[in-house]
Amino acid sequence: MALISLKEILSDAKQKKYGVFATNAFSFEMAEVIVEAAEEKNSPVILMMAEDLFKFLNPERTASAIISMIKDAKVPVVFHLDHGNNFDVAMKCIRWGLSSIMFDGSNLPLKENIKIVKELKRISIPSNISVEAEVGYVGGLEAREKTEGQEGIDTNDYTKVEDAVRFVNETDVDALAVIDTNDYTKVEDAVRFVNETGVDALAVAVGTIHGVFRFKPNLDFDRIKEIKDAVETPLVLHGSSGLSDEDFKKAISCGITKINYFTGLVTEAGKKAKEIACGKNDFTYMMLNKSVMEAVKEKIKKKMDLFGSTGKA
Ligand SMILES: [Zn+2]
């Protein structure tokens, strides 16, 4: 059985100094290629379902299908809830059989965040389920939801393929930064959080952003190191799609062990779909789906090589 906890996978990664690739499945096909990529690279992987993406699938049924697939996988796979926004959704995911949950209390006062994570940790220990939490605040799509008081994501806010291609090509240009360094994870908060909750993985805000970067990323590597030296808990980097290969390598060498990478895959999928749909008149949906998923798989495999997890299963 290949379904394992986040704690187990990250303690190996921390010890051997590699990064574990983590991404969200928005369909069963997407879940399949995540596992296939890991098998082809003999790499561990973290397959996630984000609460914000539940509207694209029936989460309970899809979770059940994904769990059967993972049980047959040849490599260790963590099945993780990404950005659970409240206690109830975390509890549901535990019931559905996920092996790990993230509670995102980054918009709450630290004390409140600690209280909820501590309770989730207490509940999840008997079933060996891991808990990830976020201290500090990684901005992005949720920033707009919060400031504009929207319920859920507005699909008009989704990354447009042409914007993504342009921004990825132009990451050298300076533009207005939307990252506030005051939101970065403070070392003393990380220490307090870990001590009081016993959390299994800690997402840190060090200069990344969810979605597409609109400026050249400038990670605070010293802060990653300081937090790593201050806490034993493995560290997680969210919102990493705009980073360069060098950024990834350096972040891993400074102490990051789990890397959430999603927008880059969606962009790749959109680019491929557009290329096929515009280039041929005789394509079928099956052909399009297969080519898109193959492109996504190749991108995941390249990241596994880059993060050093290839061959570590
Ligand atoms: Zn995230």
Residue 67 has pLDDT above 90, yes or no: yes
Contacts of 295-299 with C-beta under 8 Å, sequence gap 24+, read 295/268, 295/269, 295/271, 296/30, 296/33, 296/265, 296/268, 296/269, 296/272, 297/33, 297/36, 297/37, 297/40, 299/264, 299/265, 299/268
Averaged pLDDT for residues 235-260: 96
| Ion ligand 1 neighbours, Cβ < 5 Å | 238
pLDDT tens digits, one per residue of 6-55:
999 999 999 999 999 999 999 999 999 999 999 999 999 999 999 999 99
* 107 C-alpha to ligand 1 centroid (Å): 13
The reply to whether 245 belongs to the active site is no
Q: How far apart are alpha carbons 273 and 38 in whole angstroms?
A: 23
Q: What is the pTM of this model?
A: 0.88
Superfamily of domain 6-307: Aldolase class I (3.20.20.70)
Of the listed 12, 82, 104, 247, which one is catalytic? 82
Q: What is the pLDDT of residue 218?
A: 86
Q: What's the chain's average pLDDT?
A: 88
Residue 282 has pLDDT above 90, yes or no: no
Q: What is the pLDDT of residue 175?
A: 39
Q: What is the pLDDT of residue 142?
A: 45
pLDDT tens digits, one per residue of 156-210:
444 556 655 565 555 443 333 456 788 899 999 999 999 999 999 999 999 998 8
Averaged pLDDT for residues 263-280: 90
* 296 C-alpha to ligand 1 centroid (Å): 19
* 199 C-alpha to ligand 1 centroid (Å): 17
* 248 C-alpha to ligand 1 centroid (Å): 16
* 225 C-alpha to ligand 1 centroid (Å): 20
Residue 149 has pLDDT above 70, yes or no: no
Q: What is the pLDDT of residue 155?
A: 45
Q: How far apart are alpha carbons 155 and 2 in whole angstroms?
A: 35
* 16 C-alpha to ligand 1 centroid (Å): 24
* 247 C-alpha to ligand 1 centroid (Å): 17
Sequence spans of domains, the chain: 6-307
* 282 C-alpha to ligand 1 centroid (Å): 38
